[in-house]
């Protein structure tokens, strides 16, 4: 496929990512402006790179034409939360929005992947306007704590290096790290109410 055609195919996904970042950033701002604790700490997004798309198609034994149908994460949004409890809050906000429709939810927190990967994924349908009229496309929203995010960044790099064959001593380090992060997230949850009160108090103060 020519670079020009890739571009035309991926442009609407790029627009979806930009619109959704704008929307979730505003949600943060709106909480802050009203002195409310915000379950969203950070929002990022990306369109999948052409080389990653080609890798995934090959791995799944798919044709180029099946790309938009079969790949759920051409457009990806990542929402980082301070606490595990914030994740379900974000999920319920997404379910209640009328500008996107939930297609599928994957709870890799309750059902941790064997690799140790933990995150909550929601695939939504989202409509953008293009030069050829409206187009509805899929966007994958990943919701996770800072700890889960740290772990998966590292694991993703190692997966990339070793493909399926991460050496045992490294796998063990990763597993230890995952345990340390679970302890951390649990300790943090236990002081969460205290912290939420504290943060609200600060925001109200700084709005005065």
Among residues 54, 101, 125, 197, the one that binds a copy of itself under rule CB under 8 A: 197
Between residues 62 and 159, which has the closer beta carbon with respect to a copy of itself? 159
Among residues 13, 46, 96, 109, the one that binds a copy of itself under rule CB under 8 A: 96
Between residues 106 and 196, which has the closer beta carbon with respect to a copy of itself? 196
Between residues 57 and 177, which has the closer beta carbon with respect to a copy of itself? 177
At 196, give phi and psi (nearest 5°). Answer: -60, -45
Q: Give the CA-trace dihedral at 6, 12, 15, 21, to 10 degrees.
A: -100
- State yes or no: residue 110 binds a copy of itself (CB under 8 A): no
- State yes or no: residue 194 binds a copy of itself (CB under 8 A): yes
Contact criterion met (CB below 8 Å) for 192 and 37:
no
Among residues 9, 57, 102, 184, the one that binds a copy of itself under rule CB under 8 A: 184
> Which residues are bridge partners to 45 per DSSP?
77
Whether 8 is catalytic = no
Among residues 13, 15, 84, 91, the one that binds a copy of itself under rule CB under 8 A: 15
CA gap 98, 148 in Å, rounded: 29
Burial class (CB in 10 A: 0-12, 13-18, 19+), 90: buried
| 48 DSSP assignment | P
At 9, give phi and psi (nearest 5°). Answer: -70, -40
Helices assigned H by DSSP within 64-110: 67-70, 84-96
> Would you name the residues annotated as active-site residues?
140
The residues that touch a copy of itself, with contacts defined as CB under 8 A, are 4, 7-8, 11, 14-15, 18-19, 22-23, 26-27, 29-31, 33-34, 36, 49, 51-52, 82, 96-99, 127, 129-131, 133-134, 146-147, 150, 153-154, 157-158, 160-162, 170, 173-174, 176-177, 180-181, 183-184, 187-188, 190-191, 194-195, 197-199, 201-202, 205-208
């Amino acid at each position: 496929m020519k670079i020009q055609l890739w571009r035309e195919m991926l442009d609407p996904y790029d627009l979806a990512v930009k619109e959704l970042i704008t929307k979730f950033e505003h949600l943060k701002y709106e909480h802050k402006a009203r002195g409310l604790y915000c379950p969203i700490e950070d929002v990022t997004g990306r369109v999948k790179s052409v080389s990653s798309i080609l890798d995934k198609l090959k791995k799944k034994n798919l044709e180029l034409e099946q790309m938009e149908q079969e790949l759920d994460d051409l457009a990806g949004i990542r929402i980082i939360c301070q606490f595990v409890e914030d994740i379900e809050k974000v999920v319920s906000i997404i379910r209640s929005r009328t500008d996107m429709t939930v297609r599928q939810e994957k709870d890799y927190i309750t059902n941790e992947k064997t690799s140790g990967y933990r995150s909550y994924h929601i695939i939504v349908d989202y409509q953008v306007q293009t030069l050829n009229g409206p187009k509805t496309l899929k966007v994958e929203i990943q919701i996770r704590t800072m700890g889960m995010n740290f772990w998966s960044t590292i694991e993703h790099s190692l997966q990339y290096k070793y493909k399926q064959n991460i050496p045992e001593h490294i796998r063990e380090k990763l597993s230890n790290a995952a345990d340390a992060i679970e302890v951390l997230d649990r300790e943090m949850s236990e002081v969460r109410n205290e912290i939420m009160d504290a943060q609200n108090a600060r925001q109200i103060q700084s709005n005065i």
